[in-house]
Structure 1
Amino acid sequence: MNYHFITIEGNIGAGKTTLSHLLAKKYNARLILEAFADNPFLSKFYENPKQYAFPLELFFMAERYKQLKELIHTKDLFQSVTVTDYLFTKCLLFAKVNLPEEEFRLYQKLFEIIHQQIPQPEILIYLHVPVNKLQSNIRKRNRPYEQSIPDEYLFKIQETYTNYIKQHNLKTLFVDASNADFLGNEKHLQVITDALEKDHDYGQRYLTLP
């Protein structure tokens, strides 16, 4: 396995954290998970998006920056692989959906200053899950503030991610995760690990699960 920095991305409820845990265990990797629960504006945002979107996104960007910046300064002799369950560019993608134009332009300026200091993953695994399955996953994990997320919001996030991936020349494993069960079906995880053990060109490679 030639990749030392792997990032898993996807919509809300796509299964990013589950797959991150499994890959970290498989490759004895350092695991960096988004500390979303520490954001004091998250539940307030779902109740009143217009009022709390800007502080929500600023807090997320600051926390993600702090986590990923430490990658540069801390090397682990026993763990040569790092797995994260978010892409730093996620800041900009969610801000584009959540912020009005003037606030987004300001946020974008801050993002561009910070983004240059952050290491980029060698390969991105994007989990593409239909909105009805996302909603089912969200209900199952039962975080109270997520239970009223509208389908329209999830569609917007999905579209923003897929447009970004198409427009940027990242090494991306684009996984149809409609029926994904990485915990219960070893063959599903095997598809991902088999793909990670190959060298890929820049651009998207599409994977389906058995």
Structure 2
Amino acid sequence: MKYQFITIEGNIGAGKTTLAHLLARKLNARLVLEEFADNPFLPKFYENPKQFAFPLELFFMAERFKQLKEMIHTTDLFKSITVSDYLFTKCLLFARVNLPDDEFRLYQRLFDIIHQQLVFPDILIYLHVPVAGLQRNIRKRNRSYEQNIPDEYLFNIQETYTHYIKQHNIKTLFVDAANADFLGNDQHVQVILDALEKDYDEGRHYISLP
């Protein structure tokens, strides 16, 4: 395997965690999953975004930093590859959407202080799913606090991700996951595994699923 640290990203409901589990199993990799369920502000945020956005994002940033920092300092002798279902920079991307300008500037200062202490992934897999598909997935997994997420919010998150990837020229496998069925179709996972065997230049490299 050419990549020792693989990160999967995408919008809410894109299938990040499902694919991370499958890749980690196929590659015998260490799995790092975002512990979003531990964030006590998440249900409150969906009920009242303006009031709870800042503590929500601060909690996420602190927990992600702690988790990734521990990963750096913990060696697994039997697993040389790590697969994660989030990019630390997602802290900044979601904060850009959720916070007013003055709070975002403060948040960004904190982010800039700590993110330099972390390791950036060797390659990013970005799962692109249209908003209608995201909403179907969100309804299917049936988390109560997610059921009223507006299309506009998902669209804004989508735009923020794609702008960031394009602007920073990150080595990215940009996967059209509109019809992805990673659990039910082994070919879809195999396409990703085959893609990870290749060398890539910086920038986006588009992957289609059969």
CA distance in 2, matches of 1:127, 1:199: 19
1:14 corresponds in structure 2 to 14
Is the partner of 1:148 in helix, strand or coil?
Answer: coil
1:89 to 2:74 alignment: no
The aligned residue for residue 2 of structure 1 is 2
The aligned counterpart of 1:141 is 141
Q: Residue 108 of structure 1: CA displacement?
A: 0.2
- Cα distance in 2 between the residues matched to 1:166 and 1:145: 31
- Output the CA distance in 2 between the equivalents of 1:9 and 1:104: 22
- State how 1:1-210 maps to structure 2 within 5 Å: 1-210=1-210
**Structure 1: which 4+ aligned runs deviate by more than 6 Å?**
none
Q: Distance in 1 between matches of 2:154 and 2:190?
A: 28
TM-score, normalising length: structure 1? 0.99
Letter in 2 for 1:156: N
Report the AA paired with residue 132 of structure 2. Answer: N
Q: Find the aligned partners of 2:68 and 2:199 in 1 and give their Cα distance.
A: 25
Q: How far did residue 119 of structure 1 move? A: 0.7
Residue deviations 1:38-67 (CA, integer Å, cap 9, x gap):
000000000000000000000000000000
TM-score by structure 2 length?
0.99
> Per-residue CA shift, 1:74-105, capped at 9, x if unaligned?
11110000000000000000000000000000
- Distance in 1, Cα, partners of 2:65 & 2:169: 22
Q: Distance in 2 between matches of 1:34 and 1:186?
A: 24
Unaligned runs of 5+ in 1: none
Rounded to whole Å, the distance in 2 between the matches of 1:188 and 1:76 is 28
Indicate the RMSD between aligned Cα atoms, in angstroms: 0.5
Q: In the aligned structure 1, how far is the partner of 2:115 from the partner of 2:105? A: 15
State the Cα distance separating 1:170 from its structure 2 match.
Answer: 1.2
* Cα shift at 1:71: 1.9
Deviation, 1:169, is: 2.0
- Letter of the aligned partner of 2:186 in structure 1? E
Question: Following the alignment from structure 1 to structure 2, what is the Cα–Cα distance between the partners of residues 30 and 163?
Answer: 29
Q: Aligned equivalents of 1:118 and 1:88: distance in 2?
A: 8
Letter in 2 for 1:40: P
Deviation at 1:2, TM superposition (A): 1.0
Q: Secondary structure at the match of 1:7?
A: strand
